Amino acid sequence: MIPSEVYALGASGNPIREIADYAMRRAEEVGAENVYDFSIGSPSIAPPAAAQEAAERLMKEMPPTQLHAYSPDQGLPEVRKAVADYLNSAFSMTYAPEDIYMTSGASAGLAIGCRALLSPGDECITLTPYFSEYRTYTEAAGGVMREVSTEPETFQLDYEAFAAAVNEKTWLVILNSPNNPSGVVLGEESIKKIAALLTARSAEYGHPIYILADEPYRDLVYDGDAVPYIPGFYADTVYCYSFSKSLSLPGERVGYLAVPPESKERIALRAAVSGAGRMLGYVCAPVLFQRVCAACLGQTGELREYKKNRDLIYEGLTALGFSCAKPQGAFYLFVKSPEEDARAFCKKAMAHDLLLVPGDDFACPGYARLAYCVPEERLRRALPAFGRLAAEYGLRAE
């Protein structure tokens, strides 16, 4: 029998993909240059040269039977060691290679993390707005998602709301910084407060409350802001990283989970992560690109292009009278809808061929997400259309 929730998930489709598909159809009607598609968070800058070089060298130098062979479920030993060494030197941690589990991107990492850390009926807290698949993975593990609002406009932690949501059923908190869709970085003070609260509540309830730190955008920050490394503040943090965004390799599907070395449950967590990986069939992440990513740890493509785009669109939209928090990282801008219903706003934007994603899809109605990982030219051409949209709402033009 096909489970109804599985059917419903597949049948409902992915709203962001649907907008992107619409963009392709529309481009055939009016020309691609007249469609301002800001729907998908797919990197627009080239991978660093080192990634291309590593892929070519590996293809040339390694015997094919070795190059394309299975790795152990958890990933190639030398890659796990390289990742552990990198994290240890970047964040003063003490990871062993055995703490690292190579995954097919952050998607698999999150699915594994939720399966490893939640039993049926356990609660998982996340802060809104959030990447909607957190709910999918939580519910797939039998968990219950509890959404906690952040401060309006700034999207920073609302500590009182967070503290009120934590209860004895809470086993997991998923944090994402820099955030998709707001671009906001969770500050050190907030992380310290979360850590202190979870430490106290874990002791009170007699079980650990884990953090799953989802950080595929960690290396995409534009103003020299430091992104605090959450496992350094709270020992029971499973860290989830992906090379999709930092190395512009989303189709190659490589990331990793890092089990916390200071956790009392370290050994059990290693086993749970491996067990969940097996159970979900997420074993042996793509091996060629495990090696490529290991050769490029800590690198990124040319971030100046994203920063230029961020400044262009943030300044352009605020000058037109739109309001939005200035994104510190990732490649998204979360615009406040000039009317209460952000879906209606996105529809009106669509009439100007401006394709945005309603905040409702990130559990944050009243806003819309704009992905500025696009050619700069598209942003420049879109600004007059945003001007017409602003005029429709009677927004102030400066």
Q: Which residues in this chain contact ligand PLP in the complex, by CB under 6 A? A: 41, 105-107, 131, 176, 180, 214, 216, 242, 244, 250, 255
> Which residues fall within 8 angstroms of residue 194, CB to CB, at 6 or more apart?
157, 162, 173, 175, 211, 234
* Bridging pattern class, strands 123-127 and 100-103: unpaired
> 294: closest CA among 303, 283, 285?
285
Which two structure tokens, joined as six digits, stand for 259? Answer: 């089990």
CB of residue 283 to ligand PLP, shortest distance in Å: 16
Identify the residue whose tokens are 């401060």.
151
Contact predicate 39/371, CB 8 Å: yes
Residue with tokens 């990197």: 43
State the minimum distance, in angstroms, from the CB of residue 249 to ligand PLP.
Answer: 9
Tell which residue, 27, 17, 96, has the closest CA to residue 258.
96
Strands 210-214, 170-176: pairing kind? parallel
CB 69 within 8 A of CB 287: yes
**CB of 326: closest distance to ligand PLP in angstroms?**
19
Residues 80, 97 contacting (CB under 8 angstroms)? yes
Closest residue by Cα to residue 353 from 46, 61, 37: 37
CB of 150 to ligand PLP, least distance (A): 15
- As measured in angstroms, the least distance from the Cβ of 6 to ligand PLP is 20
Q: Which CB sits closer to ligand PLP, 332 or 386?
A: 332
First to last CA, the chain: 60
Q: Which is nearer to ligand PLP, 237 or 244 (CB)?
A: 244
Q: Are 302 and 46 in contact (CB under 8 A)?
A: yes
Residue placing its CB nearer to ligand PLP in the complex, 112 or 317 = 112
Q: Which is nearer to ligand PLP, 190 or 202 (CB)?
A: 190
Distance of closest approach, residue 47 Cβ to ligand PLP, in angstroms: 14
Rounded to whole angstroms, the Cα distance separating 59 from 143 reads 42
Output the smallest distance, CB 1 to ligand PLP, in A.
29
C-beta of 214 vs 360, nearer to ligand PLP: 214
Nearest in space to 73 (alpha carbons), one of 98, 110, 94, 106: 98
Q: Of the candidates 307, 304, 289, 320, which has an alpha carbon nearest to the alpha carbon of residue 383? A: 320
Q: 9 vs 163, which CB is nearer to ligand PLP? A: 9
Q: Which is nearer to ligand PLP, 288 or 319 (CB)?
A: 288
**In this complex, which beta carbon is closest to ligand PLP, that of residue 177 or of residue 202?**
177
Minimum CB separation of residue 215 from ligand PLP in Å reads 8
70 Cα distance to chain centroid = 27
Q: Which is nearer to ligand PLP, 96 or 280 (CB)?
A: 280
What angle (nearest 5°) sits at the alpha carbon of residue 178, between those of residues 310 and 245?
75
- The least CB distance from residue 392 to ligand PLP, in Å, is 30
Residue located via tokens 């290396």: 219
